[in-house]
Amino acid sequence: MNANLNPVELTQELIRFNTVNPPGNEDQICEYLQKILESAGYECRKVEFAPRRTSLVAKIGSCSPSKPSICFTGHVDVVPLGARPWRFEPFAGVIDDGKLYGRGSSDMKSGVAAFVVAAIQMAQEAKQGAGVSMIITAGEETGCEGAFHLAASKEIVDFLGPAGCFVVAEPTANEPLLGHKGAYWLRAKTEGVTAHGSMPERGENAFYKLAKAALTLEQFSFDTPPHQLMGQGTLNVGTAKSGLNINSVPDAAEMTLDIRTVAGQSHSHIYGCLCKALGPTVALETIIDIEGVFTPANDPWMEQVFEHCAKINGVRPVEKTVSYFTDASALKSAIGNPPTVILGPGQPEMAHQTDEFCYVDKIEDSTKLFANLISDWQRS
């Protein structure tokens, strides 16, 4: 069965698993993939970070410090459907006019299907060579929960072994991306003294303190130079709240900060700069701390990736990065900080959209591309 496994048909099968997050419930899809991979000779481990929140890791070949593997990663949870009606049933995997429709078709069950099929096609070669490893995660859409859980497990990290290169199969329409920004989300809190709204002078308004802090943040600038491709980091105040009723002075207020960092920026340094700018009346708490990822185009392995993509796409790729973050931020250091590319068949503009689709030929091309990368790595 595995010798004739079709990546488009596998994508359809994966779409038929409803893994909308929340709640996710990725256990059944990972069990399905485990059976396919084990029948092709892969050694697998399933890991839960919560009930029914299952990730899957697999490997074949050396996967050792002397002969590190080529590693692929992708997530199998998907975002909710939204309120608008879909043209086709979102968990049917319908193909129409060369497009495969369904939630997760682009983000990113097509990417998972492509590297699973490529890994199975190349299993015998990988078994005798440096090897292939795969990290198929749960809970990516809600802060890379599954990936962080895996990276913290010494047992799983030891099982996988080090990777010599890393492919993140997020939707890029088979165009290689050199990296992505990091995410540093903070909660800023202020405190005051409550009083009756008709006598505000008897209180201390926490919201006024917060508002002043927000205006300070509007003028905040990073003291690091812009990245050559990512540009400068950004800061946005996403939410703010204060008070319980209209006729009282609020004694507590808070806002959330969405900071997107570029490669080379230190999150701890940014934290120190913010504390200095906001002063002692504002307390900062970390919500998410996810570092950015970047590999230069002149890295020897990345040059090979660009060559293979040029053959598949018929044009030399443009050097670029993206602003969103991926599981690579959680996993890269755990597998030895290998050169990393973001590369997958999905259409990036279709991610999270109603009537999400992926082009069928992109899935087929991606599978060939991944198989070529696997083969090259075994001979390197």
Residues serving a catalytic function are 77, 140
Asked if 313 contacts 175 with a C-beta cutoff of 8 angstroms, the reply is: yes
Helical spans, DSSP H, in 226-314:
267-278, 300-313
Tokens read off for 216 = 């300070």
Q: How are beta strands 357-359 and 293-294 bridged, if at all?
A: unpaired
Tell me which amino acid residue 285 is: E
Q: What share of the chain is helix, strand, coil (3-state, %, to 5)?
A: 35, 25, 40
- Euclidean distance between CA atoms 273 and 213, whole angstroms: 13
Provide the CA 97 distance to its chain's centre, in angstroms: 29
Asked if 340 contacts 329 with a C-beta cutoff of 8 angstroms, the reply is: no
Within a 10 A sphere around the Cβ of 219, how many other Cβ atoms? 7
Q: Helix, strand or coil for residue 305?
A: helix
- Euclidean distance between CA atoms 286 and 47, whole angstroms: 26
- Euclidean distance between CA atoms 14 and 92, whole angstroms: 10
CA distances from 267 to 86, 220, 234 (A): 41, 15, 13
Asked if 119 contacts 16 with a C-beta cutoff of 8 angstroms, the reply is: no
Tokens 């809190």, located at residue: 189
